[in-house]
Structure formats: structure tokens, C-alpha cells
Structure 1
Amino acid sequence: MVKKANLDVVRENNRKLVLQTLFNSEKTSRSSISKAVGLQKSTVSSIFLDLEEEGFVQELGIGESSNVGGRKPSMIRFNRAYGYVLAFDMGVRHLRYTINRLSGEIISDGAIEIQSKKVAPVFEEMKKVIESIDIQDMIENLVGIAVAVHAPVFNNHIIYSPFFEFEDFDLVGELEKLTYVPVLIENEANLAAIFYRDYHVYNKEVDYKDFVALNIHNGIGVGIICEGYVFRGVDGLAGEVGRTIVYDAKANLNSAGDLPRLEDLYSENAIIDRAAVIKKVDNFSREAFLELLKDRDPEIMPLIKEWEMSIAAFIYNLNQLYAPQAIFITSRIFDNFPEIAQETLLNVEQFNSVHKPDLIFSDSSVQDASMLGAVALISRHVLGLQDHMLKFTL
């Protein structure tokens, strides 16, 4: 029995290697995969019979023969029509979603305005999205769902949430009962980090194995990739950097009588609120704030200079804590105003760190990075390749 169990483990590991190689190849052949994974052709052929029966293999036709001649190979790739996954981002004001192939490509996406902190109404909107999907020519249709949340998560459970009231509603359970597919929930900054790892969107030859994804939006959070894996810390609480205490001799206590936290002062929401106070305007919209930045409003620019220096100092501190290969930075302010991003980089340079990581401003929005990271997360789960290096495509 022990020998049979060991053989089953070996065969399953071989299957994962073959599926991984197939997934990462735009176009390949059975013989090429056999060489790549170091397995005998007979072993690979046996595994391929199973993968073909499951629907993972797409035939592409006959390829070119090698330089030494011989039989032309039958070309194959991972089947883009196997099934699709659905990813949601539960933002403060919008529920965003994307429907993607298991290999990563977007089929369709959208956004729905939400005005409740209750999870049940958000679930109803998710249900409408799920019931409206009509995608033809798939073998398995919907195979998994992932949800990005602005909250720490551990073992598929939310630890606490500053934006939604999860206590009285089992979102994962309700989605699973509705769809009969696996449902994963994960912190949005961790998912952004997974996106940079798995989609490899940066113009670099190097594959980063140790990096930090810094998301500056309603709050401030980081996702940490260590040796290629997400570092979550105890109970998934790693990366809650927005809760870092900010102290100086002139620091003002917040409304609760405590010292302010980083995101109380320098998240995008905090900066917009502080700008509203300066301009003496109630209900200050993000669009109005961006217009003031575009006009370089003289009352607002000192606040922006403070923000640039404070974010630069925080980036420097992240570098000192983790010494990562790279720090990916996502912010709508930086996205809309590259000159502010450049000023922030110049400030980082002034601190003259011994270690200088690559500082990369993301072309993807906070929501897109988190949702596509969610696509990678649930696709890996469906394929059983959670611990294998995969390259997803847009």
C-alpha cells in the first residue's frame, strides 16, 4: 500500500509538471514537453491521454520538422476554451468584476455602483453578474470565483474589515451554494502582488522572486512576495502598513484621541479629505481633487509636496525592512500625474539607501491588479498548481 501511494504521488507530481509546462507554452509539442520536464515519452504520453480527456489540451495542427529532419510534430497548447473564472473586487463605492479564461485572458469586465456596507446587497449584485453570463463554446463554463477585499484574510476567512460588515453574512458559503464551484477570498494587496508575479507585466528580463506591491488608494497596503510565495504573517496580518503609527512632536491626535496612522494622513482618501478642508468644500469628489492638481492649485500644492515626501520616506522604509528586488507602486494620483511620481522618486533618491531596488510605477489600476491577481489565484486552485511557476497572459 505504501509503494502504491508513493507511485500515486510521483504520478501526480509528473502530471503537474506536464500541465505546468503546457500552460506556460504558447505553442509546443509532446516531445518538447518530454524534454523540458525530463520524463520519458511514454510517461508524458500517458499523462497527455488524461489531460486530453479532461479537456486541457488544444490541438494546433502540424508544426515544422527539426533541423535534422524527421517526422513533423503535432503542435499543442493549453486549451483556452476549457472554462472561465470570475473575479470580483469589493471596493468602497464599486463592485468591479472580470471574467477570464483560465490562462488569464479577459473575456469581459464591468463595474457596479454600491452604496451599502452590508455584504448581503453586494452578494445580490454578484448574483446578477453570475446569472447574466452567457459564454458559449466552453467545456466546463464557470470553474471558480475569487473575491478581492480591502481587509486582511487568513484561510479564506476575513479577520476584520474596515469597509464592509462581514460578520452576519457568509459570502464565500453563499457563492459556493449558488455556483457549486470553489470560491476564494483574499486581501487586495496580496492579490496585486500575485498579479505582478504571475502576469509578468514589467519590461524586465529578470523574474522577481522577492518584491513588495504597494497599493495607495482608500487605504495603504502592501503585498509581499518572498522567494516566490506570498508572505502573510500570523493570521494573514502582514502588510497592514496603513495602520503604521505616525509620530512627531507636533502630531495631532485623531478623532479617537490616538496618534494618527499612515493611511489617516496619506492614503488617497485622506489627502482628498485634507484638500477639502483646505478649500472649505463639503463632499469633495475625486474628480474635483484631480482638477485642482491639474491646475496646480496654489493652496493644494504644499499638501502634495508633503505627500510626495511622506510616500518617498515610506518607500525608503519598506526598502530598509525587506530589501526587495523591486517595489511595485500603484496609485491613481501617480497614474494621472507622472510628474508627481517622478518627484517622489527623486525624494527617495535623496535618502541614499545602500540597497536600491527597482521602483516600478504600475500601468495597471489598483482594481485591475487585484482582480487579475484573483484570476491567477483561483485558476491555480482549479488546476492544482498553487506551488508551480505559471505565466498568465492578458
Structure 2
Amino acid sequence: MRRDDTLEKESIGRTQLRNRNLKLVLQQIINNPGTSRVAISHELNLNKSTISSLYNSLAEDHFIEELGEGASSNVGGRKPIMARLNKKYGYTITFDLGYRQVHAVANYLNSEVIDHQEINTKGQPIEVMLQYCSDFVKEMQGEVVSNQGLLGICFSIHGIINQNKIVNSPWIEMNDTDIVEQFKETFDVPVILENEANLSAIYERDFNAGRYYHNSITFSIHRGIGAGIILGKRLFRGKQGEAGEIGRSLTLLGPNTAGQSVESFCSEEAIINRVKQLKHDDTIDRQAVVDLYRSKDHEVMRILLQSCSVIAGLMYNVVTTLNPDAIFINSELLAELPDLLTEIKDNYQDIAQEELPIALTKNTKFATLLGGCSLITHYVLGMMDYELHFEEAN
């Protein structure tokens, strides 16, 4: 091997090591707002001069916002300069293309919400929905002040995604629209598509109690039923993006429902439709179901308690396959009726003969959107394999 070749490889190795260490320092700053170079040096076991060099590089690129002096150590000495991520380095935008509504949110780099909007789009073609999304991006570009501007866009899709393409979207006709190409060409930023349940799982992992578990599953119960799977802190999507399509599992409950998909029996949409049929009232919606349950309407209580039993059975089947540390449930209906969680837990324990942490997602309105914010933030920072924690504003 020629000496020049050896020097080139050594140079590449040093560059790769420095880039990795830069990301580790940035990770510390993101995950520990109000940290210092001394604390980072201690956490990463790197000498202070190395940390100072990396810190200064991040500061020159406007990733760091200094907060002033902190307290000195017990042995005295200079007070450390405390720092946090500069939230105005740039911002991201996430869209949730739902069956009834489009939700849009813009977030600073630290995930702080800049603006959130929603529009009723039920029955509207995908072209109209995407025009609203495009208008929102242009509005943010005209209003948000930051160093680097728009960094990236994420779309939450209620369907199957593989290699950043929509394989199946059962609730919205996509008309062969290439969302990624359309928005990359218009706005010249990275664009990511991801399944809604997967984004709910990312939200739990990066914002909430999911960060304390290596393996967790988030059940997303809306118009359909899906699961976001986190294994070893990483999103598991399966070979073709179909991991977590649990709504198509069959229920064995009773002679009238055996053979039905779980989704067609106890998704929120299915529950509402069952109540509509029983009450002969097409105006029934989620709030009406909630009100009827709270008023102890016998028929509605039976439907919901039966659904809890089916969901518990579905959980048991998933748990025996994937053996997670915890389960989370993202459901606006259950968020309105949290006592049903007790029913699910009790049913699960009866089947499994053991307890498992099962909790409701604490922010059903923003879970998918914030999961998208985290995903696109990981991507634009080149930190897809790094564990990042974000704080959610109260």
C-alpha cells in the first residue's frame, strides 16, 4: 500500500470519528437542556480540549444557545457556561393526512410547536388536501424566523409505507400522487412518509415513558387499528413496511363475530357504526358514543366492553409474538373514557395471567404530529441511529 493511500485512509478515519463525536455532543445537548462542556466531557469520557473543539464547531454552525454561567463545583474554580440547543437553528413541518381532517404543525428544532392548524377535508380529493399542505408550508416560510429556515417535511399516512412510497392507503384515494417528489421539487427539502401508528410509537419513545423501555408497542385505534413496534429502541417496519398491520387479525369472539377482522369490529369507526345501527341514528359520532356510555346506556356499554375484550385478546397475541416491555394505546375514544383502560388491563390479565404496563397515550391530538417531528428531525440531523429525547410543552 502506498504511503499516500495510508494517509488518505487515516484522514477518512479521523473525519468519521470527528463527525461521530460531533453528533454525540449534539445528542448530549439535545437530551440535557442546560448542560455544560464539563458535563458533556464527563458523560462521553472525552478530554476537555476535544469537547471544546467539537462544542465550538457546533456553536459556529448555530446549533448552540448559551444560557450564561452555572454553579461552580464543590472544589471551586470557574463557573461553567450552560448551553442548550438553539431551537431557532431551523424548523420542520409535519402533516397528518387523516380521513376527516388534515392536521399541520410547524416545530422548531427542539420540537417546540410554532403553529398548529387543522382543516376539515372529508370527501375532498388528495389534490385539495395537498394544496392545503403546500399553502401551510408557504405561510410558515413567510412567518418563521430561523437560521436555516425549513429543514424538512414529514407526512403521516394512514396506510402502508415502504421505501418512502405509499403501498396502500385504504381511507384516502391517492390517485397515483407522488407526494415526496411534489414537495421535494417545490420546497427543496427532505420529505419523509411514515405510517401513522409508527409515528405514534416514535412519539412514545422520544417524548414520553417509552424512552424508559427498549421494546414497546403502541396500538393506534382510530378509523383502523395498527401497531407501531419499537424493538431495541428502533422502529421495526418489517420487510415491506407491513409490520404492525394488526387490524386485519381475526376475532374469535362469539358466533356472530367469529371470522371478522378486529378492525371491522372494534376500531373507533366500527364502534360508532355499530351504535348508529342500534340507535337508528346516522348523526352518532364519537362524542355521542362517549355521552351515551357516561349515561350508562346499556347497549353502548355492552358494545364498548365487548370491544375492550377483543382488544385485550389482540394485545395478548401481539405480546406473545414480540414480548414487549410495555404497551401504549393511542385512541381518542379511550382518552375520553379512560376507565375503559381498566377493562382492557383486567381482560388482558385474565388471558395472560400476568401484568404488563399498559398506558394511554397522554396526548392523542399531537402524538402522531410530534412523532413526525422527531422522525424528520432525526433525519435532517443525520442522527437516525441516535437516541434523542424531546420535551413536550404543557
Structure 1 length-normalised TM = 0.92
Deviation for aligned residue 1:167: 4.4
Q: Counterpart of 1:340 in 2: which secondary structure?
A: helix
Residues 266-309 of structure 1: CA distance to partner in whole angstroms, max 9, x if unpaired?
10101111111111223533333222222222232222221121
Deviation for aligned residue 1:86: 0.8
Residue 94 of structure 1 is matched in structure 2 by 101
Residues 132-190 of structure 1: CA distance to partner in whole angstroms, max 9, x if unpaired?
22444421221111111111112211111101222421111111122211111100111
Task: Assess if the C-alpha contact under 8 Å between 1:327 and 1:359 holds in 2.
Answer: yes
Q: Counterpart of 2:366 in 1: which secondary structure?
A: helix
Residue 374 of structure 1 is matched in structure 2 by 372
Identity of aligned residues (%): 34
Task: Assess if the C-alpha contact under 8 Å between 2:253 and 2:310 holds in 1.
Answer: no
Residues 368-391 of structure 1: CA distance to partner in whole angstroms, max 9, x if unpaired?
111110000001111111111111
Q: Counterpart of 1:169 in 2: which secondary structure?
A: coil
Structure 1 pair 248–199 and aligned structure 2 pair: CA distance change class (3 A):
closer
Structure 1 pair 150–290 and aligned structure 2 pair: CA distance change class (3 A):
same
Residue 68 of structure 1 is matched in structure 2 by 75
Return the letter of the residue paired with 1:210: N
Return the letter of the residue paired with 1:155: Q
Residue 317 of structure 1 is matched in structure 2 by 317
Residue 147 of structure 1 is matched in structure 2 by 155
Deviation for aligned residue 1:330: 1.8
Residues 220-264 of structure 1: CA distance to partner in whole angstroms, max 9, x if unpaired?
0000000110111111100000011234683469xxxxx421101
Task: Assess if the C-alpha contact under 8 Å between 1:117 and 1:165 holds in 2.
Answer: no
Distance in structure 2 (CA, Å) of the matches to 1:207 and 1:284: 39
Structure 1 pair 276–41 and aligned structure 2 pair: CA distance change class (3 A):
same
Q: Counterpart of 1:108 in 2: which secondary structure?
A: strand
Task: Assess if the C-alpha contact under 8 Å between 1:319 and 1:357 holds in 2.
Answer: no
Does 2:23 match 1:25?
A: no
Q: Counterpart of 1:238 in 2: which secondary structure?
A: coil
Residue 364 of structure 1 is matched in structure 2 by 363
Residue 198 of structure 2 is matched in structure 1 by 190
Residue 171 of structure 1 is matched in structure 2 by 179
Residue 270 of structure 2 is matched in structure 1 by 270
Does 2:170 match 1:162?
A: yes
Distance in structure 2 (CA, Å) of the matches to 1:21 and 1:362: 26
Residue 199 of structure 1 is matched in structure 2 by 207
Distance in structure 2 (CA, Å) of the matches to 1:389 and 1:147: 21
Q: Counterpart of 1:140 in 2: which secondary structure?
A: coil
Cα RMSD after superposing both structures:
1.9
Higher relative contact order (CA 8 A, sep 6+): 1
Residue 329 of structure 1 is matched in structure 2 by 329
Does 2:383 match 1:390?
A: no
Does 2:113 match 1:114?
A: no
Return the letter of the residue paired with 2:322: Y
Task: Assess if the C-alpha contact under 8 Å between 1:242 and 1:263 holds in 2.
Answer: yes
Distance in structure 1 (CA, Å) of the matches to 2:298 and 2:253: 26
Task: Assess if the C-alpha contact under 8 Å between 1:119 and 1:171 holds in 2.
Answer: no
Distance in structure 1 (CA, Å) of the matches to 2:252 and 2:41: 59
Does 2:240 match 1:232?
A: no
Task: Assess if the C-alpha contact under 8 Å between 1:146 and 1:375 holds in 2.
Answer: yes
Distance in structure 2 (CA, Å) of the matches to 1:66 and 1:249: 67
Does 2:240 match 1:242?
A: no
Return the letter of the residue paired with 1:339: D
The 5-angstrom pairing of residues 273-312 of structure 1 reads 273-312=273-312
Distance in structure 1 (CA, Å) of the matches to 2:119 and 2:361: 24
Task: Name structure 2 gaps, 5 residues minimum.
Answer: 1-7
Comparing 161-170 with 143-152, greater Cα deviation is found at: 161-170
Q: Counterpart of 2:118 in 1: which secondary structure?
A: strand
Residues 171-212 of structure 1: CA distance to partner in whole angstroms, max 9, x if unpaired?
11111122211111100111111111101257xxx7111010
Q: Counterpart of 2:298 in 1: which secondary structure?
A: coil
Residue 5 of structure 2 is matched in structure 1 by none
Return the letter of the residue paired with 1:359: I
Residues 27-57 of structure 1: CA distance to partner in whole angstroms, max 9, x if unpaired?
1222221222122222222222321121101
Residue 256 of structure 1 is matched in structure 2 by none
Return the letter of the residue paired with 1:268: E
Q: Counterpart of 2:243 in 1: which secondary structure?
A: coil
Task: Name structure 1 gaps, 5 residues minimum.
Answer: 254-258
Distance in structure 1 (CA, Å) of the matches to 2:172 and 2:84: 41
Structure 1 pair 293–156 and aligned structure 2 pair: CA distance change class (3 A):
same
Q: Aligned pair count? A: 384
> Which of 191, 194, 213 matches 2:218?
213
Runs of 4+ in 1 over 4 A off after TM superposition: none
Structure 1 pair 302–73 and aligned structure 2 pair: CA distance change class (3 A):
closer
Structure 2 length-normalised TM = 0.92
Task: Assess if the C-alpha contact under 8 Å between 1:193 and 1:213 holds in 2.
Answer: yes
